[in-house]
Amino acid sequence: MNQQNQNQQKIQNPQTQVPATPQMNDRDFITDVLSHEKYMTASYCTALNEASHQTLYQDLLTIFNETQNAQRELYNEMFRKGWYKLEAADSQKIQQSYQQHQQYSSQFPYGTGAGGQLQ
């Protein structure tokens, strides 16, 4: 695929410029914090799965939700500033994936009801 087609596949806002110096800039700081928030969210998921005490579970769930919301806000800010870009999904690949997952539903032990919902 040539460079022009690749650029058409990107979803990105205009990039906010940051100084090119050895010191950390705003983009560096947000990238670092976002990375830590993603790690913490994944770790809280593990803790939630393994929490055996209901009160502990509820406390962890509250912290998880706060961490997840902070992660999402950082992602939105980076995307808004053009520091986080996405690739447009190929509609043919989406359709293939959908069909593949529809075939998986026939393997569910209890079947599916109307609209593909488990019964």
Q: For the chain, first and last CA: distance in Å?
A: 45
What pLDDT digit, counting tens, does each position of 24-71 carry?
A: 888 899 999 999 999 999 999 999 999 999 999 999 999 999 999 999
Convert the pLDDT of each residue in 91-116 to its tens digit: 888 888 888 888 877 777 775 555 55
Of these ranges, 6-10, 69-73, 89-93, the one predicted with the greatest mean pLDDT is 69-73
The Cα-based distances of 10 to 6, 88, 93 in angstroms read 7, 6, 16
The first and second tokens of residue 52, run together, are: 């055996």
Q: What is the pTM of this model?
A: 0.64
User: Tokens 């961490």 map to which residue?
Assistant: 67
